[in-house]
Amino acid sequence: MTHLQAGLSPETLEKAKVELKENSETLHQDIQEVRDMIITRPDIGFLRTDDAFILRFLRARKFNHFEAFRLLAQYFEYRQQNLDMFKNLKATDPGIKQALKDGFPGVLSNLDRYGRKILVLFAANWDQSRYTFVDILRAILLSLETMIEDPELQVNGFILIIDWSNFTFKQASKLTPSMLRLAIEGLQDSFPARFGGIHFVNQPWYIHALYTVIRPFLKDKTRKRIFMHGNNLNSLHQLIHPEILPSELGGMMPPYDMGTWARTLLDHAYDEEPDYCPESYTLSVQDLERDLEKNLSPKSMKRSQSVVEPGVLKRPDKAKSDEDNMQPLLSLD
């Protein structure tokens, strides 16, 4: 075991070896092979290339050097193309702070049985008079940047649960295709995290309609990991034990405190009231949509969609996940 694996438990170390093909004897060579590819993309500013940073991209792509580098390049290219999104990417930024305090995202204290961190979003909490969808996306990206520093989560990954209870049609109308596409590119195509499942619960019909709009931009692997539960929480509990879920999701834990994760990131700044409204945000939705049309040309989308995705993760029988044998609960083909 090298110093780069020092943060892994024996169980996770074995999981990395079996599932991700991580080899301590060739780890530094694997990292260097990815680093050597940087010269092929002089158009991108690779602002961080240390061993620990590159390692998270290798883990996210099961040590496929080419795919790890492609993800690394897309990570920095996404940030270059959306510079305003990443200005002042801090928990104390007024818009991010408001989103965090409303539970965007919420982070459960308990891991699931496979060691994955569970993120929860209660969609109806979105106060559109105080912050934008872009603020929510920025808060999620900031949170993931913080959590992905943990090598255990680099290997084990994340679960996302979105509860659409009481999410109104008016709120949904703010979720434009351009905004959703921006989120997909930021989370699916440009971030080194392993998402083991994305679970929708209590979703109304108009969320199904939105899903059909964004579905063409989802990779096959992502589609297979999206589960539409509706109001059938028993199907959710088949995959995520209710013992670790809050009562809002039919779990045995107390109701989720929306400020839990925000307090972790903000500490003493949590109680300071920001002077903020969406209209004052320097990056307007209209400007961002214009940038999207320019940056997400058919040529660039074709390049993005041509990424060769590794196969569905295989686990040893003793730790096989339910998701590997379960199809999405609702097909929208």
What is the per-residue DSSP string for 175-208?
--HHHHHHHHIIIIIS----EEEEEEES--HHHH
Comparison of pLDDT for 7 and 288, the residue scoring more: 7
What's the average model confidence in pLDDT over 56-80? 98
C-alpha closest to that of 113 among 266, 205, 242: 242
The 3-state DSSP class for residue 121 equals strand
Q: What is the pLDDT of residue 276?
A: 54
Query: 29-38, 114-123, 137-146, 299-308 — which is least confidently predicted?
Result: 299-308
- Amino acid, single-letter form, for residue 204: P
Half-sphere exposure of residue 9: CA atoms within 13 angstroms, side-chain side: 8
- Cα end-to-end span (Å), the chain: 46
Provide the whole-model pTM: 0.83
C-alpha closest to that of 296 among 122, 179, 206, 192: 179
Share of the chain above pLDDT 70, in %: 82
Q: What is the pLDDT of residue 271?
A: 79
pLDDT band for position 306 (cuts 50, 70, 90): very low
The H-or-E segment that residue 163 falls in is strand 158-163
Q: Is the pLDDT of residue 305 over 90?
A: no
Q: In sequence order, which residues have a C-beta less than 8 Å from that of residue 165 and are 6 or more positions away?
A: 122, 123, 124, 201, 202, 248
Task: List C-alpha distances in Å: 273 to 86, 95, 236, 260, 276.
Answer: 22, 11, 37, 17, 9
Give residue-wise pLDDT tens across range 117-153. 999 999 999 999 999 999 999 999 999 999 999 999 9
What is the token pair recorded at 169?
């049609």
Q: What is the pLDDT of residue 277?
A: 53
- Mean pLDDT across the chain: 86
What is the rounded distance in angstroms from the CA atom of residue 161 to the CA atom of residue 117?
11
What's the average model confidence in pLDDT over 161-189? 94
> For residues 19 and 320, is the Cβ–Cβ distance under 8 A?
no
Q: What is the pLDDT of residue 278?
A: 53
Q: What is the pLDDT of residue 267?
A: 86
